[in-house]
Structure 1
């Protein structure tokens, strides 16, 4: 049985989600504020399969909780819930380490589907760990275990999502990847056509990989997608 840490300060919504998750055969641990969530995470860390996390919380907000958990566990599935629906807010949540983002109000079927997808993605990632812990292309090297990225020997600091995006390109060099494929491989979820999310992350990744006198590595194939190659 999968254990879910549910963090939601609205009592009626938490009760509803707890009932639905229990009905779906999840074991639920609940918290109403961010500090309690972190305390429960510390106590039950080895049991927790995923976190469903509200953004606006007492004591510590969801982003603080998210960042703290990510310093300990970079791969645990975390779904962020919020009434914020601006694309900038979504990118912020994802950039800070959320695996997925769902806007209130939502249908419970959608939340459950996204939860299953996030857990499946982790299982798939753990079951298909690269044989070699280092991926490389041209002068870029990425270490899967230490999460260290360098270009021409220079350290490059990436967010979790940027790291996953680069790792995906390194696993598929010279292959044009559509936005739909990138959503599936990196996010593991359908973002309902919000393709600018991919474009934003590609832009961030390009900026971080850009070094003086070093050629571009991630290219746009207009109308198709993106590709990692040396031109």
Structure 2
């Protein structure tokens, strides 16, 4: 299955999403904010199939993280999460870089489906 870098500053959400995606057989590397995720991303030389990140976080937000990831690892698929309408609007200008934005709160099935869809789209993009 896929290697996923999961970034969210809320422990409960990060844990919920991690458990949900591990149920599908994915290997999850958790990060607690954008700076932590960028360090892990660079430490692994971008060897992740998907970056799944919250937008609103301290230190480095998900949009700054997505821009850095897209710049340094353009083959990586990026999926954003947010519970804030204004953050979703900020992400709308990144359509060329990100796959989608998942709105919080979401159900177990919604996040699993969104990740599956993003991974499929990433595979199709790479094989085209």
What is the TM-score of this pair, normalised by structure 1? 0.51
Secondary structure of residue in 2 paired with 1:48: coil
> Higher relative contact order by CA 8 Å / sep ≥ 6: 1 or 2?
2
Structure with more of its chain in helix, by fraction: 2
Residue of structure 1 equivalent to 2:70: 70
Unaligned regions of 5+ residues in structure 2, if any? none
* Equivalent of residue 93 in structure 1, options 91, 94, 105: 91
Offset, 1:47 = 2.6
Residue of structure 2 equivalent to 1:114: 114
Secondary structure of residue in 2 paired with 1:79: strand
CA 1:109–1:45: 2 relative to 1, 3 Å: farther
Q: Is the 8 A contact 2:4 2:52 kept in 1?
A: yes
What RMSD over aligned residues (CA atoms) do the two structures have, in Å? 1.5
Residue of structure 2 equivalent to 1:8: 8
Matches within 5 A, 1:96-175: 96=94, 97-128=97-128
Distance 1:106 1:118 in 2: 16
Distance 2:69 2:10 in 1: 22
Distance 1:45 1:4 in 2: 13
Q: Which runs of 4+ in 1 moved over 3 A?
A: none
What is the TM-score of this pair, normalised by structure 2? 0.89
Offset, 1:91 = 4.4
Report how many aligned residue pairs link the two structures.
126
Distance 2:57 2:88 in 1: 17
Q: Deviations over 1:115-152 (max 9, x none)?
A: 11111112112222xxxxxxxxxxxxxxxxxxxxxxxx
Offset, 1:73 = 2.2
Residue of structure 2 equivalent to 1:84: 84
